[in-house]
Amino acid sequence: MYNSETPSRAELPSSKQLLRSTVLAAVSAVVLLVAVVLPAEYGIDPTGVGRVLRLTDMGEIKTQLAAEAAADTAAASGNSVVTSAQAQQPPPGARSAPTPAFAPAAKPAVQEAPWRDEMTVTLTPGEGTEIKMRMTEGAKADYSWVVQGGRVNFDTHGDGGGKNISYEKGRDVPADDGQLVAAFTGNHGWYWRNRGKADVKLVLRTRGEYTDIKRAM
């Protein structure tokens, strides 16, 4: 018995049409992966589209969160503070290794001058935030931040022009101050996350050679 709903051979797509549809689907998937998925999930932006759409910042933050979670899992004690300078210290009796090129210089004394900007952020348990300054290569900015009501994990870093750098990291830290020197032209600043069980208030004060400062998230 003939079923009127069954398509005829003429209505079915040809092998050539099927191949063309498959190729188009594959190309679309690759374009989507490179232009959207890689920037948004991993901070990798080979085409520059992710930076325009602000997807790369999202991917970089996700990468930071993943690295921080891995560090928390591996930590033997939740109260220890680990900074990049401490991590590079040799054991007693060992010869000191040369300071890597990316290691932060010793923090100079903060000058007694009025602060240019002050920003206050409240972080709930598990919440993170990022504040960055727009700086040119070699520009210097003094900073001082303090946590009221607890401690935070932090990452002082920069990005711009396809470059990324991490100046210093710390865990369970109540405050920090010093001078940030931009390694290249771009955005330079801090990412903080409250790993405690209560809300904390973070106060950041800055001054120096930067064009603007804003909260990225």
Q: Tell me the domain boundaries of the chain.
A: 14-76, 106-217
Determine the pLDDT at residue 22: 82
Per-residue pLDDT at 26 exceeds 70: yes
Distance CA 10, CA 16 (A): 14
Of the two residues 121 and 35, the one the predictor is more confident about is 121
Per-residue pLDDT at 216 exceeds 70: yes
Predicted TM-score (pTM) of the model is 0.54
Domain spanning 106-217: which superfamily?
Answer: GOLD domain (2.60.120.680)
Per-residue pLDDT at 184 exceeds 80: yes
CA neighbor of 156 nearest in space, from 104, 207, 195: 104
Distance CA 166, CA 189 (A): 10
Distance CA 188, CA 191 (A): 10
Segment of 21-25, 64-68, 180-184 carrying the highest mean pLDDT: 180-184
CB atoms within 10 A of CB 213: 20
Tell me the per-residue pLDDT of 29-45, one tens digit each, with 9 for 90 and over: 777 766 666 666 766 77
